[in-house]
Structure 1
Amino acid sequence: MNPPFDHRYLDELMERAGLDALMVTSKHNVQYLLGGHRFFFFDYMDAIGVSRYLPTLVYVRGELDATRYIGNAMESWQLDNDPVWVSDLDTSTWRAQDAIELALAHVRRVLPGQAVVGIEGSFLPVEAYQRLAADPSVTLRDGQFVLERLRAVKRVDELKLLEEASDAIVDSMRTTFGVHGPGSTKREIVQTLRQEQTRRGMTFEYCLVSMGASHNRAPSNASWAPGEVLCLDSGGNLGGYIGDLARMAVLGEPDAELEDLLAEVEAVQLAAREPIADGVVGQAIFDRAGEVLATSPHRAVSTFVAHGMGLISHEAPRLTSTGPVPYPNYDGPRALAAGMVLSIETTMLHPRRGFIKLEDTVTVTADGHRAFGDRARGWNVVDLAAARV
């Protein structure tokens, strides 16, 4: 079986970083390198007994056949049903330290002498890291950046999952808006959205929900009143890929002020899309959005951000170092590439009308861009006579 990723490009990235091998321990990167495999038993949690599940894939630069995957003692059932391309499999572990010990032994065997190994520091338990750091035969360096670069441009099958996830989230929001009305609470609305996403084959991850004049986005027993706005900002997972969009509703017909406020947000969103294309520098998105935002009467309470999307939220391309999630602005001065996927979002924290936001998922194409789930972007009007669920 052939690997589902460009292993020659991975070898190139590793050579640039000075890595002889990668020791991959995050569930999302293991899933990517194995072509979709994610052990069902630990899909939602990692803890087991006194340790944790630690899927570990060892990839040796330039030696595809030396790849080894180390999994849990029950994982062979799933691998029997859905084989992966890696032939060297060890499904005997329960503890993180056992998995890392086997991975280390494999590195010593295929790379005798000194080896430079890239690790995912943010996804490596202390007990596993300490064992690696104590071994004089390996020099540890960051491997997370290399893996993020490998995932930055999405394959056709990945784009399909992201589009389906985005469509399902928007459809779930529209259904949720349609079955709630006066008196519905934030908790009830989020629960409906969870059920709707699940019904569409997704794994519900979160919903940031705001209602009325409040900027609080946590579920609560606050109830929806006539004339109030409702913002749903939700992430749903389909096959490991995350859709993340935000849409607005209002209980009763929106007044002129609400129409104007959402139009301001929409203007920034559409402006941000204009420069998106293969070869365009990432900063151009922020420059164009900033031009329009500067003309907004509510610019003092409005913000714009764009970030990469895929197996995790906020991945490559990294386009800003001043957004809500902190990381270096690596891609801002660099060209976008066809196949990259972006989330673009404009937020207004109006002091009287509340939290007004649109968030869209856009993919870079060879001749421009294309938006996923690109509907229900105006005010979704909920009938005041709607029955409360």
Structure 2
Amino acid sequence: MSREPVLFNESRMRAMMDRRGLDLVILRGVENSRYVSEFLHNGGNLGYRPFCVFYFRDPAKKPAFVVPAVDLHLAMTLTWIEDVRAYAMAEFFTDIDTHFYVDFASAAKAILAERGVSGMKVGTEGDNLTSGFRTVLDGLLEGNTIEDISFEMEIVRMVKTPEEIRRLKLATEITVKAHASFRDAIKPGVSDLDLHKAACLRMLNEGATAVNFINTGAGPANAFAAHDPFPRGYVLQYGDFVKVDMGAQVMGYSADFVRSYFIGEASERQQEIWKRLNEVQLELGLWIKPGVTGGEIFDRGYAQISRYLNKFPREFFGHGIGLGSHEQPRMNAVNRTVVEPNSVLCVEFSYYHDGVRHHTEETFLIKDDGVDHWTAGCPTELIVAV
């Protein structure tokens, strides 16, 4: 049964294609093919198993979606695209009685021929494609003009639909609760694995569809680390530094924010660093509005934090979030992406001192009439009393 897209912002896609004069967009990248098809497949990261969307500017030319045979029935159930075709991969036949193409190229060739793709201007993901897939695509598109629209697709995805916002906000609310369970478990004698379990269980119990990631730094072995993905079995001691960066996932959309702690006590200098990081970060996040650029956000944040902390190490102060963990706008010195309403941004600051990496991060929804601070309910107190 056909339906309208709820994740894919079709009007932004069409506007982008109009600006660039594109007749066809072909998307094989994992995030882009998931986004446009709304089939949040988990096999596209395999280079030999493409999921690929063909989207035309002319509404008379219907979109098409090519998937591995093993995923055909589920794709037909979950995507809004009516023309779904399969190529033999993992299975030669399934419960769907239909023709399977011998390979992806055969399926793509048939779609291009049926839609009369010749002399068109076609957008692809350019250098983001694997060299093998790009070679196949170049051969199929001979006689057409090919343009790289990787960046343009990032801008299409930057502004979120209501359903995307709902999923991201719910993932953030669940992660706030998981941070609370993690924080409550911190005490001498427990291990970083215990903290990891506490956060995981809280996410799942609160309705997360997956634990996207939990990066913990605990004690001298990895207190400096930004992204240590696995607990090490370290047993916490009084005075240890503990940091956690985590995100629960809700139907493909994940939260992402950080808190840091000291067990029992922290030096005056450590407390001062933490205070300044959070003050500047919050002021910056609440200042962001439609019309400013990623570079302007960075410049303001760097000027503010440099009043308190010398030689600040950050190359960027945050990023958008959606189906991808780091989306536009990336808030660095050279980014000229303009923030638009209904963008969801993660603003983050970090600083190294005395062997530890102080790290804090907040999430904001940027609206026409202001900013919603989604992570306001997650406490920022540095010291955990024991």
> Would you call these one fold, judging by a TM-score over 0.5?
yes
Q: 1:249 to 1:318 in 2, by over 3 A?
A: closer
> Aligned equivalents of 1:26 and 1:19: distance in 2?
18
Q: Secondary structure at the match of 1:52?
A: coil
What is the letter of the counterpart of residue 211 of structure 1? A
Contact 1:19/1:116 (<8 A) preserved? yes
> Aligned equivalents of 2:239 and 2:304: distance in 1?
28
- Alignment correspondent of 2:362: 360
- Alignment correspondent of 1:118: 123
Contact 1:344/1:360 (<8 A) preserved? yes
Q: Give a deviation string over 1:287-327, Cα, whole Å, max 9, x none.
A: 3322321221x333553612211111221223325xxxxxx
Contact 2:86/2:107 (<8 A) preserved? no
* Count of equivalent residues: 365
Higher relative contact order (CA 8 A, sep 6+): 1
Q: Percent identity?
A: 21
Contact 1:267/1:292 (<8 A) preserved? no
From 165, 169, 181, the equivalent of 2:187 is 181
Q: Give a deviation string over 1:312-363, Cα, whole Å, max 9, x none.
A: 1221223325xxxxxx6231xx3x22101111001011125x2211101111
Q: 1:221 to 1:37 in 2, by over 3 A?
A: same
- Alignment correspondent of 2:80: 85
Residue pairs, 1:47-126, within 5 angstroms: 47=46, 52-63=48-59, 65-79=61-75, 82-94=77-89, 98-121=103-126, 124-126=129-131
> Aligned equivalents of 1:273 and 1:301: distance in 2?
18
What is the letter of the counterpart of residue 300 of structure 1? K
Q: 1:101 to 1:64 in 2, by over 3 A?
A: same
> Aligned equivalents of 1:300 and 1:94: distance in 2?
53
> Aligned equivalents of 2:59 and 2:373: distance in 1?
39
> Aligned equivalents of 1:265 and 1:211: distance in 2?
20
Contact 1:272/1:286 (<8 A) preserved? no
> Aligned equivalents of 2:9 and 2:172: distance in 1?
26
- In the superposition, the TM-score normalised over structure 1's length comes to 0.83
- Alignment correspondent of 1:325: none
Question: Unpaired segments of 5 or more residues in structure 1?
Answer: 322-327, 385-389
Q: Alpha-carbon deviation of 1:153?
A: 1.0
From 217, 235, 244, the equivalent of 1:210 is 217
Contact 2:284/2:297 (<8 A) preserved? yes
Contact 1:346/1:359 (<8 A) preserved? yes
- Alignment correspondent of 1:387: none
Q: 1:161 to 1:111 in 2, by over 3 A?
A: same
What is the letter of the counterpart of residue 40 of structure 2? R
Matched, 1:279 2:279: no
Residue pairs, 1:295-310, within 5 angstroms: 295-296=307-308, 298-301=309-312, 303=314, 305-310=317-322
Question: Unpaired segments of 5 or more residues in structure 2?
Answer: 91-100
- Alignment correspondent of 1:264: 276
Contact 2:286/2:373 (<8 A) preserved? no
What is the letter of the counterpart of residue 56 of structure 2? V
Residue pairs, 1:363-382, within 5 angstroms: 363-379=365-381, 381-382=383-384
Residue pairs, 1:1-389, within 5 angstroms: 1-4=3-6, 5-34=8-37, 36-39=38-41, 42=42, 46-47=45-46, 52-63=48-59, 65-79=61-75, 82-94=77-89, 98-121=103-126, 124-135=129-140, 136-200=142-206, 201-212=208-219, 214-217=223-226, 218=228, 219=230, 220-254=232-266, 256-296=268-308, 298-301=309-312, 303=314, 305-320=317-332, 329-331=335-337, 334=338, 336-352=339-355, 354-379=356-381, 381-384=383-386
What is the letter of the counterpart of residue 290 of structure 2? D
Contact 2:242/2:261 (<8 A) preserved? yes
> Aligned equivalents of 1:318 and 1:180: distance in 2?
33
- In the superposition, the TM-score normalised over structure 2's length comes to 0.84
Q: Alpha-carbon deviation of 1:205?
A: 2.7
- Alignment correspondent of 1:324: none
> Aligned equivalents of 1:161 and 1:30: distance in 2?
18
Q: 1:283 to 1:144 in 2, by over 3 A?
A: closer
Q: Give a deviation string over 1:84-113, Cα, whole Å, max 9, x none.
A: 322111134428992243123312331343
- RMSD across aligned C-alpha pairs, in angstroms? 2.7
Q: Secondary structure at the match of 2:244?
A: strand
More strand by share: 1
